[in-house]
Amino acid sequence: MRLGFAWLMLAVGMTYFILPLVGLTEFSLSMRRGVYSFDAYAAVLADPRFRQTFSYSVVMALVTIVFGVLLVVPTAYWVRLKLPGLRPYVEFVTLLPLVIPAIVIVFGYIRLYNTSSWLPMTGSTTGTNLLLMFGYATLSLPYMYRAIDTGLRTIDVATLTEAAQSLGAGWVTILARVILPNVLVAVLSGAFVTFAIVIGEFTLAALLNRPAFGPYLQLMGANRAYEPMALAVIAFAITWACMGLIQLVTRFSKHTKAAR
């Protein structure tokens, strides 16, 4: 009886997950009356604004990942190596973006970096793009930091550092050629989460008025019937791919460790 109940519970839960996805896919395929077709997808892919906003978001995601790695890897490494006493505080700060809603953070940006402020980042396109990138880096900080810090825990940072130093390596060499390759799997999973977050992000991009994929999605949703569903299927496929890749690299790293 207990087993039956467990199956029932699982079935109910999975229905909740799967039904909306089925509904979404079905709707995205029914643009042509009476038959299933890929018309909505064709319409979306032919839309130049889709290509513009999507590539904008992809570039933003990649830049955010590079910046996030450059910021978090040295910090997490340094805190583990030299300032272990500060770890709880740094960790607390990295978790703050989960506590403070994104809309409040971007509200602060608009107040602090408007055209009449001491650092008028919203005054130019490049400045706003940069601000948006910093915003994305903030939103992904909890995931990035935790992934990399967990990765660092599995290696002996102090010994690796001393070994590299005794061979004459400087800090940049140690970070780039000793530490980074050792935590690459952790960095990759942080990167994929960041990618998934940035691609669909709406609030920041909308309030900073940048032509990203999220606001485009919302705009299409307000004006069209079938195209937004096709876009949502694409967005879901990307999220799914990112999470799948995390699983893949984690499993891959387990195999290399077992073989050693």
Tell the smallest beta-carbon distance from residue 84 to another protein (Å). 10
Q: CA 243, 19, 57, 144 torsion: positive or negative? A: negative
Does 6 engage in binding with another protein (CB under 8 A)?
yes
Residue 176: phi and psi, rounded to 5, are: -80, -35
Q: Which is nearer to another protein, 79 or 188 (CB)?
A: 79
Q: Find the binding residues for another protein in span 39-68 (CB under 8 A).
A: none
- Token pair listed for 140: 């992904």
Q: Find the binding residues for another protein in span 121-140 (CB under 8 A).
A: 134-135, 137-138
Candidates 42, 45, 66, 103; binder of another protein (CB under 8 A) is: 103
Does 97 engage in binding with another protein (CB under 8 A)?
yes
Tell the smallest beta-carbon distance from residue 1 to another protein (Å). 11
Rounded to whole angstroms, how far apart are CA atoms 186 and 249? Answer: 9
Does 10 engage in binding with another protein (CB under 8 A)?
yes
Rounded to whole angstroms, how far apart are CA atoms 134 and 123? Answer: 16
Does 229 engage in binding with another protein (CB under 8 A)?
yes
Give residue for tokens 């207990």: 2
- CA distances, 59 to each of 54, 133, 179, 256 (Å): 9, 10, 26, 31
231: left (phi over 0), alpha (psi -120 to 50) or beta: alpha
Does 96 engage in binding with another protein (CB under 8 A)?
yes
Which range binds another protein by CB under 8 A, 35-43, 45-53, 146-154, 190-198?
190-198
Does 22 engage in binding with another protein (CB under 8 A)?
yes
Q: Which is nearer to another protein, 59 or 92 (CB)?
A: 92
Which range binds another protein by CB under 8 A, 33-41, 103-111, 146-154, 176-184?
103-111
Q: Find the binding residues for another protein in span 148-177 (CB under 8 A).
A: 158-159, 162, 165-166
Rounded to whole angstroms, how far apart are CA atoms 32 and 37? Answer: 6
Query: Do residues 240 and 199 touch, judged by C-beta distance below 8 A?
Result: no
